[in-house]
């Protein structure tokens, strides 16, 4: 599995994508989501930024609990995780066994998770929290 194989999968999926560097692409979905694919043998890493971690500890703890629940109940593959102060959705695909169907299923699974979990994670988004704080101060 090499760079050309991954690009052929992206073209076959008719995905809108841009090469960011050697072995790294960003896919843009119809819903405006961004998924980064990074060829890092022996795996292809897929990841998408979801939202920043809330600064308030209690709110962060509630978010982490919700993410663990989603990991356990709603994700077929991949998982939510943390990268510094950012929640990400990530998946690692074994290059040795990767074929088009597995690649497409992983990308579509991430798209579905990001779309279907949007409402469940909405209370933790900064713009939502700021609006709630503003409404409470009136």
pTM reported for the whole predicted model: 0.86
Q: What is the pLDDT of residue 40?
A: 96
CB 47 within 8 A of CB 41: no
Q: What is the pLDDT of residue 130?
A: 46
Q: Residue 78: left if φ>0, alpha if ψ -120 to 50, beta else—which one? A: left
Which tokens belong to 103?
């690649």
Q: What is the pLDDT of residue 92?
A: 97
Q: How far apart are CA 123 and CA 132, in angstroms?
A: 9
First to last CA, the chain: 58
Q: What is the pLDDT of residue 128?
A: 55
Q: How far apart are CA 54 and CA 67, in angstroms?
A: 13
Angle subtended at Cα 121 by Cα 82 and Cα 127, rounded to the nearest 5 degrees: 95
Domains of the chain: 3-136 (3.30.1460.10)
Count the Cβ atoms, other than its own, within 10 Å of residue 132. Answer: 11
pLDDT by 10s per residue, the chain, length 138? 889 999 999 999 998 999 999 999 999 987 788 999 999 999 999 999 999 999 999 999 999 999 999 999 989 889 999 999 999 999 999 999 999 999 999 999 999 999 999 999 999 998 754 444 444 444
């Amino acid at each position: 599995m090499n760079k050309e194989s991954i690009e052929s999968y992206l073209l076959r999926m008719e995905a809108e994508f841009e090469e960011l560097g050697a072995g790294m692409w960003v896919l843009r979905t119809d819903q405006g989501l961004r998924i980064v694919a990074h060829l890092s043998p022996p795996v292809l890493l897929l990841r998408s930024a979801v939202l920043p971690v809330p600064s308030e500890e209690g709110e962060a703890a509630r978010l982490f609990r919700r993410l663990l629940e989603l990991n356990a109940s709603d994700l077929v593959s991949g998982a939510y995780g943390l990268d510094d102060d950012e929640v990400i959705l990530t998946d690692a695909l074994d290059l040795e066994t990767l074929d088009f169907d597995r690649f497409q299923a992983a990308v579509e699974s991430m798209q579905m998770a990001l779309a279907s979990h949007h409402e469940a994670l909405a209370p933790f988004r900064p713009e939502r929290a700021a609006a709630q704080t503003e409404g409470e101060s009136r």
